[in-house]
């Protein structure tokens, strides 16, 4: 029966313009190649395909299906996905030359309807001394470390990929290009007898199952014949759209290709349920009705009363949300939190409603976004609680039910923290898929911004630097000294916010307990350049890991250099090297170096170096650091006389054109994902 329905639109392109799914009728087209079916909108001939969906069949060679030189394994219309095969990058010791041979590459799908599936793929690295980077648009995006010490070889376990011999990472969404490369200071020169090669690739998560012999042989590469499967989403739409476009589906009870015009015999057709009694059991006389037997009412609604249908859908969605809210609330430990709050009766912490959050962020409007940190997106919210003060609303990344108790405990502790130098947690909302946390809004920029994006030296005299450092150290020390200590885990200059009069406020808490969520194996947390090497070895976060990262912040403060140079060399190792040689003064920021403060600068440098000690036992505690910083600060003041009117200094008075307000410093989307991987040089020691 040539009956058709408007297939359901899943995504609308650029908001609002409804598009009609059934597009072209296919001419006489070749519809398979190398055993792979090629449904419309894909095709081998331009007349048989939508623009951007033209494939090639290598009939003269291997007979396989290709898209721009990349092999295609499957095409799924219902999922809107294709499976491609991409090269595995290798980094192998060459015993002839005694050097390392590297095979890296790049996949570029820009200007095509394809995007790498962030849900279906994981960045995977295999090896025993491996640090692989995912590069996007020339930027380091994510890194993955796989190591095995000699006695760790026993610990290699089938199907377990947690950093020993194997590492997996989630990737950012909607990527259209990527490359893979290796950090050269993690190489197999010394262990080639055990493990000659490192491998890394973006791999379809469900196809990967770690095997012990992957890290010590070429078994991984062999298993995939040098090319791993990769899931790629596609959608019809305009390339210029930022939104993904749309995919189509046949209505319930219909089966076929929803992209074809209804006249086409392969387009969505009514399934004759009567002919398949096993699938559609019928007691009595069966009469095939258009659509599904059970869906008749639904269909009548749809074809006769389109508007009613939409209303109905909206009502259903509303009910669904109402139901989900409650479910999420429980899933995220809402009950637990309420119970705990009842016990601890002195809490000013508030549980917000979904509607309140939506209203405050104007429905998560893009213009409300003020930052994107490792833990999630931060929105600026207005008029929460009928109070005109703005707030910062953070959408946590993912949620792990297993850590629910820890999460609620930490929330409760944080809600009771009332420290001048810690961003105040005001409340949360647990009625969304992921928890939302509401914080005090901090109006000025971050320490990172002050150091690395401002040209005016007058705003960062040594006094200010020391004051901010001392206040931050006091805040960390406070958190470490709680009955139930809170470790920050991502200490860096972008997480130190500045309030009026340069009061430091440390941020980016709260989601940390749930950050491992995502459903991914986020093995290493933290930010490249700040990561404690001992943490990388033991995968155990301690208060001394925060101390190490803070040491890097102190170096930034002394040198005004970024923690990782353009050549990806870590500031920590450069500085330590210079300390050994006694040449560190060359690295000190000339803005603060004067003849009369050399001794104080040396004290500071020594303090930073103590924080960066390889073994955590040798590092000082945060409270010791805070004391020392206060001592140095006092001496600087004595040197200079009274601190010259800090309050008259203004960040906004500087020349920079960027005046937007920040909550967490990193706004550059992918940069913020640099949370992983390692600090090469220290590690190699
Ligand atoms: C077709 O296959 C041959 C042999 O496998 C190969 O050399 C050639 O590069 C392929 N052509 C394309 C367009 O992929
Ligand atoms: C996808 O392709 C692979 C290899 O060609 C094949 O084994 C698999 O069955 C296909 N899967 C689907 C869903 O077509
Ligand atoms: C399309 O419909 C099929 C069958 O009802 C279903 O399995 C599939 O998940 C749907 N696809 C999408 C993207 O909703
Ligand atoms: C190893 O190095 C030698 C000499 O540089 C080179 O000729 C050879 O191709 C390399 N081997 C591999 C497998 O790349
Ligand atoms: C291998 O790593 C060692 C130690 O990190 C380094 O000294 C050496 O230069 C590296 N070799 C290559 C070929 O990169
Ligand atoms: C590797 O093995 C060879 C022979 O088995 C041995 O001569 C060589 O010393 C070993 N090299 C290392 C670095 O262990
Ligand atoms: C992975 O392989 C192991 C054995 O090598 C097997 O026991 C396990 O079921 C596999 N897991 C998956 C998800 O295929
Ligand atoms: C690696 O292990 C798998 C099963 O665990 C086995 O099938 C494969 O042959 C092994 N490969 C090598 C090179 O040892
Ligand atoms: C995409 O949109 C741009 C501008 O909106 C338009 O110029 C272009 O023709 C469109 N391309 C397609 C394939 O629809
Ligand atoms: C309760 O809160 C008040 C004011 O916020 C504070 O002074 C008091 O110490 C708190 N009591 C307890 C037991 O925490
Ligand atoms: C911080 O921001 C506030 C409000 O935007 C502004 O009044 C103040 O001058 C700023 N302070 C500094 C030190 O920049």
Instruction: Please tell me the predicted confidence (pLDDT) of residue 259.
Output: 78
Whether pLDDT at 469 is above 90: yes
In a domain, 117, yes or no: yes
Residue 348: band (very low, low, confident or very high) from pLDDT cuts 50, 70, 90: confident
Residue 17: band (very low, low, confident or very high) from pLDDT cuts 50, 70, 90: very low
Q: What is the mean pLDDT of residues 351-357?
A: 85
**Which range scores top for mean pLDDT: 269-273, 299-303, 426-430, 491-495?**
491-495
Q: What is the mean pLDDT of residues 470-489?
A: 89
Are residues 463 and 552 part of one domain? yes
DSSP string, 43-75: BSSGGGS-TT-B-EE-TTTT--EEETTEEEEEE
pLDDT tens string 220-239: 999 999 999 999 998 876 54
Alpha carbon distance 390, 517 (integer Å): 29
**Mutation test of ligand 9: which of 14, 52, 54, 238 has the most ligand atoms closer than 8 Å to its C-beta?**
238
The share of the chain scoring above pLDDT 90, in percent, equals: 22
Query: How many CB atoms neighbour CB 233 within 10 A?
Result: 21
State the total domains in the chain.
3
Residue 198: band (very low, low, confident or very high) from pLDDT cuts 50, 70, 90: very high
* CB of 91 closer than 8 Å to CB of 180: no
Whether pLDDT at 35 is above 60: yes
Are residues 461 and 420 part of one domain? no
CATH number at residue 673: 1.10.510.10
In a domain, 256, yes or no: no
Whether pLDDT at 671 is above 50: no
In a domain, 95, yes or no: yes
In a domain, 589, yes or no: yes
Are residues 660 and 572 part of one domain? yes
For residue 337, which phi and psi values (nearest 5 degrees)? -65, -45
Are residues 472 and 418 part of one domain? no
pTM, two decimals, is 0.50
Q: Is 651 in the pocket of ligand 11 (CB under 6 A)?
A: yes
Residue 416: band (very low, low, confident or very high) from pLDDT cuts 50, 70, 90: confident
In this structure, of 75-89, 120-134, 200-214, 255-269, the range with the lowest mean pLDDT score is 255-269
More confident residue, 674 or 502: 502
> What tokens does 249 get?
């589906």
Are residues 451 and 434 part of one domain? no
Binding pocket residue ranges, ligand 3, CB within 6 Å: 10, 78-80, 249
Instruction: Please tell me the predicted confidence (pLDDT) of residue 332.
Output: 67
**Mutation test of ligand 11: which of 468, 502, 645, 652 has the most ligand atoms closer than 8 Å to its C-beta?**
652
Are residues 489 and 402 part of one domain? no
Instruction: Please tell me the predicted confidence (pLDDT) of residue 512.
Output: 58
Residue 108: band (very low, low, confident or very high) from pLDDT cuts 50, 70, 90: confident
Instruction: Please tell me the predicted confidence (pLDDT) of residue 559.
Output: 92
In a domain, 122, yes or no: yes
Instruction: Please tell me the predicted confidence (pLDDT) of residue 254.
Output: 74
Q: Is 206 in the pocket of ligand 7 (CB under 6 A)?
A: no
CATH number at residue 409: 3.30.200.20
Instruction: Please tell me the predicted confidence (pLDDT) of residue 21.
Output: 41
User: How far does residue 187's CA lie from ligand 4's centre (Å)?
Assistant: 16
- Boundary-marking domain end, from 440, 462, 481: 440
Q: What is the mean pLDDT of residues 317-341?
A: 68
Q: For residue 66, which atom of ligand 1 is closest to its CA?
A: 14
Spatial CB neighbours of 153, under 8 Å, sequence gap ≥ 6: 194, 216
264, 490, 532, 546: the catalytic one is 490
Which residue's CA is the closest to the ligand 5 atom numbered 3?
185
Instruction: Please tell me the predicted confidence (pLDDT) of residue 672.
Output: 26
In a domain, 185, yes or no: yes
Whether pLDDT at 598 is above 60: yes
Instruction: Please tell me the predicted confidence (pLDDT) of residue 219.
Output: 93
User: How far does residue 40's CA lie from ligand 4's centre (Å)?
Assistant: 46
Are residues 452 and 434 part of one domain? no
Are residues 530 and 671 part of one domain? yes
Q: Is 648 in the pocket of ligand 4 (CB under 6 A)?
A: no
User: How far does residue 661's CA lie from ligand 11's centre (Å)?
Assistant: 10
User: Mean pLDDT for the chain?
Assistant: 76
Whether pLDDT at 625 is above 90: yes
**Mutation test of ligand 5: which of 99, 145, 187 has the most ligand atoms closer than 8 Å to its C-beta?**
187
User: How far does residue 80's CA lie from ligand 3's centre (Å)?
Assistant: 10
Whether pLDDT at 658 is above 70: no
Output the CA angle 370-675-439, nearest 5 degrees: 35
Q: For residue 37, which atom of ligand 2 is closest to its CA?
A: 14
Whether pLDDT at 656 is above 80: no
User: How far does residue 89's CA lie from ligand 6's centre (Å)?
Assistant: 26
Query: Phi/psi class of residue 125: alpha, beta or left (left: φ > 0; alpha: ψ in -120 to 50)?
Result: beta
Are residues 427 and 495 part of one domain? no
87 is catalytic: no
Q: Is 223 in the pocket of ligand 8 (CB under 6 A)?
A: no
Distances (CA, A) of 360 to 176, 328, 332, 375, 665: 33, 20, 21, 20, 21
User: How far does residue 209's CA lie from ligand 7's centre (Å)?
Assistant: 6
**Which range scores top for mean pLDDT: 43-57, 199-213, 331-345, 389-403?**
199-213
In this structure, of 244-248, 365-369, 382-386, the range with the lowest mean pLDDT score is 244-248
Residue 403: band (very low, low, confident or very high) from pLDDT cuts 50, 70, 90: low
Whether pLDDT at 72 is above 90: yes
More confident residue, 127 or 111: 127
Instruction: Please tell me the predicted confidence (pLDDT) of residue 237.
Output: 65
Are residues 499 and 403 part of one domain? no
Are residues 621 and 480 part of one domain? yes
Q: What is the mean pLDDT of residues 555-573?
A: 87
Q: What is the mean pLDDT of residues 176-185?
A: 86
Q: Which among 161, 249, 259, 258 is positioned nearest to 203, based on CA atoms?
A: 161
In a domain, 288, yes or no: no
Q: What is the mean pLDDT of residues 353-364?
A: 85
Instruction: Please tell me the predicted confidence (pLDDT) of residue 124.
Output: 94
Domain span holding position 146: 81-234
Whether pLDDT at 385 is above 80: no
More confident residue, 544 or 354: 544
Are residues 639 and 501 part of one domain? yes
pLDDT tens string 285-296: 555 545 445 444
Q: What is the mean pLDDT of residues 446-454?
A: 86
Q: Which among 434, 427, 410 is positioned nearest to 483, based on CA atoms?
A: 410
- Burial of 143 by CB count in 10 Å (0-12 exposed, 13-18 middle, 19+ buried)? buried
Q: What is the mean pLDDT of residues 552-575?
A: 88
- Boundary-marking domain end, from 380, 407, 440: 440
Q: Is 213 in the pocket of ligand 8 (CB under 6 A)?
A: yes
Spatial CB neighbours of 468, under 8 Å, sequence gap ≥ 6: 447, 496, 498, 502, 504, 557
Q: Which among 22, 3, 5 is positioned nearest to 302, based on CA atoms?
A: 5
- Boundary-marking domain end, from 186, 213, 234: 234
More confident residue, 8 or 513: 513
In a domain, 29, yes or no: no
Q: What is the mean pLDDT of residues 612-618?
A: 90
Residue 209: band (very low, low, confident or very high) from pLDDT cuts 50, 70, 90: very high
């Amino acid at each position: 029966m040539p009956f058709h329905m408007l297939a359901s639109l899943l995504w609308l392109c650029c908001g609002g313009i409804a598009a009609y799914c059934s597009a072209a009728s296919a001419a006489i087209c070749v519809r398979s190649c190398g055993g792979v079916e090629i449904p419309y909108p894909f095709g081998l001939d331009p007349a048989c395909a939508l623009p951007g969906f033209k494939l090639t069949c290598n009939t003269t060679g291997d007979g396989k299906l290709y898209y721009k030189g990349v092999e295609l394994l499957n095409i799924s219309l219902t999922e809107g996905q294709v499976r491609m095969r991409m090269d595995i990058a290798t980094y192998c010791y060459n015993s002839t030359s005694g050097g390392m041979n590297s095979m890296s590459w790049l996949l570029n799908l820009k200007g095509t309807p394809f995007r790498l599936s962030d849900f279906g793929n994981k960045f995977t690295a295999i090896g025993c001394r491996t640090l692989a980077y995912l590069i996007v648009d020339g930027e380091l995006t994510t890194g993955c470390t796989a190591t095995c010490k000699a006695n760790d070889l026993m610990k290699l376990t089938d199907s377990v990929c947690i950093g020993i011999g194997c590492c997996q990472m989630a990737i950012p969404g909607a990527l259209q290009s990527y490359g893979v490369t290796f950090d050269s200071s993690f190489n197999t020169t010394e262990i080639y007898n055990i493990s000659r090669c490192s491998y890394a690739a973006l791999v379809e998560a469900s196809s990967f199952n770690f095997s012990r012999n992957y890290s010590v042989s070429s078994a991984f590469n062999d298993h995939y014949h040098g090319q791993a499967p990769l899931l790629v989403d596609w959608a019809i739409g305009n390339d210029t759209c930022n939104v993904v476009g749309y995919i189509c589906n046949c209505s319930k009870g219909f089966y076929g290709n929803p992209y074809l015009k209804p006249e086409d015999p392969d387009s969505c057709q009514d399934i004759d349920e009567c002919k398949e009694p096993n699938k559609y059991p019928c007691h009595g006389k069966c009469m095939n009705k258009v659509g599904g037997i059970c869906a008749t009412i639904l269909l009548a609604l749809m074809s006769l009363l389109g508007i009613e249908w939409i209303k109905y859908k909206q009502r259903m969605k509303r009910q669904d949300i109402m139901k989900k809210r409650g479910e999420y609330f429980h899933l995220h430990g809402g009950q637990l939190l309420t119970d705990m709050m009842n016990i601890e009766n002195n809490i000013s912490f508030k549980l917000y409603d979904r509607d309140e959050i939506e209203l405050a962020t104007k429905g998560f409007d893009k213009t409300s976004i003020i930052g994107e940190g490792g833990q999630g997106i931060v929105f600026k919210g207005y008029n929460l609680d009928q109070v005109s003060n703005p707030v910062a609303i953070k959408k946590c990344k993912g949620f792990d039910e297993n850590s629910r108790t820890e999460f609620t405990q930490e929330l409760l502790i944080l809600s009771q923290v009332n420290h001048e130098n810690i961003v105040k947690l005001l409340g949360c909302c647990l009625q969304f898929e992921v928890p939302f946390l509401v914080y005090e809004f901090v109006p000025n920029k971050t320490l990172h911004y002050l150091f690395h994006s401002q040209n005016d030296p007058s705003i960062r005299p040594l006094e200010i630097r020391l004051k901010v450092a001392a206040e931050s150290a006091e805040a960390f020390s406070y958190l470490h000294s709680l009955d139930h200590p809170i470790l920050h885990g991502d200490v860096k200059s972008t997480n130190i916010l500045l309030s009026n009069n340069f009061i430091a406020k440390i941020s980016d808490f709260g989601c940390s307990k749930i950050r491992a969520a995502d459903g991914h194996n986020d093995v290493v947390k933290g930010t490249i350049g700040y990561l404690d090497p001992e943490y990388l070895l033991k995968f155990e976060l301690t208060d001394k890991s925060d101390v190490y990262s803070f040491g890097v912040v102190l170096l930034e403060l002394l040198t005004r250099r970024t923690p990782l140079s353009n050549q990806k060399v870590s500031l920590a190792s450069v500085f330590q090297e210079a300390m050994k040689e006694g040449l560190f003064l060359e690295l000190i920021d000339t803005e603060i170096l004067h003849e009369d403060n050399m001794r104080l600068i040396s004290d500071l440098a020594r303090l930073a170096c103590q924080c960066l000690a390889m073994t955590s036992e040798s590092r000082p505690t945060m409270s010791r650091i805070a004391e020392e910083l206060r001592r140095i600060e006092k001496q600087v003041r004595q040197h200079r006389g009274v601190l010259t009117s800090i309050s008259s200094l203004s960040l906004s008075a500087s020349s920079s054109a960027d005046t937007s307000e920040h909550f967490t410093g990193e706004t550059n989307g992918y940069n913020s994902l640099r949370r992983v991987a390692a600090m090469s040089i220290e590690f190699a020691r």
